[in-house]
Structure 1
């Protein structure tokens, strides 16, 4: 058989939105490293996209999703803020400090409804003042997802929508959709949708490495317990507005 012409081997030369089904697409927008090499290798552009909608589907809140995003936050421009819209729990300022992040960068938005949360997200994206925007939504219509994605494309914001696992049963315009499940010492991440071939194997991310290896210990090793559900705080430091 004759080899494919060069233009067919590299369809991105025709248009950047084209790619072969056997390869990852070239990122249509800028990306930022996740901080985890094994995850970067599975993502188009080798990182989280900027100026596009990314969905994280959680088995439950508080399983380490913010910890997963922490390394990327540290790579974002320090003069720009990180917006949290409708988070399920009070942000813990000390945790951000432990990640060498200034908690004063946090913009904490509490809304009364999903509609208000979506409006707040659109305004943040429209003004392009935040380096990252995280929004927690359960029920959201496809038209609203499209509006968010289009607004994100006009910005340089790292837009992350956190949703329950059941949301994966619905179609989404988001070019990147990941499923997060807690496991021993970290997270098991399944890539549900990406611009490229399907990813058959989940990616394991160690968020809580063991203090010592079992082979160096004379004691029987025990599995690390799953992270407990975070509890709502009584108050929050005024460093976040």
Structure 2
């Protein structure tokens, strides 16, 4: 088990929460919980939750390697574990491969487990977030070289949560994208779905002329509650997305 740091995480931490990082193989999480709930025992328990999440996924991929390599919707075996089925369903709805939902699926699994011990939980996995909150929070949007980067935030209210807030970019990060969006943010109660739809929507954006088409695509997917797309100096929004300025 490793404790690692990503520089962008410092900018988005919540002052009322304790944040800690856990890395188990490829999974690298930033976890925020209520201060009174934080203990070293909880950290060890959370690391075990990550291992419990990864184990059935890794075992399934050994049995059905096509699941991990497919870039299109994939039919899984009838006895597939629940996390595999949730990833496959998210990929089917978004029209992409199931691994497009892996970061969101892990964030959700870990977040829901920790939510049994802390009323406020934020789990961030490479830009994909599970959030449950008892207070209004702001999620800042990093959009690479766009002039809109770090200028706006999405307001998240308690009654919207638990919520997935997932980001895809054709310019930032290591995740596969066929598009050139600076940032695509998708909101959904299903974190795997938000993750997969963010990827699929980002694939559609090559120029600012594609913003309307991208919004039209994502907004018709059942379970999506909000969308934000940034390309260069243009921004498009749909659904339950309240934008707030970030003060310099």
Which is richer in helix? Answer: 2
TM bracket (short chain): under 0.3
Higher relative contact order (CA 8 A, sep 6+): 1
TM-score (norm 1): 0.23
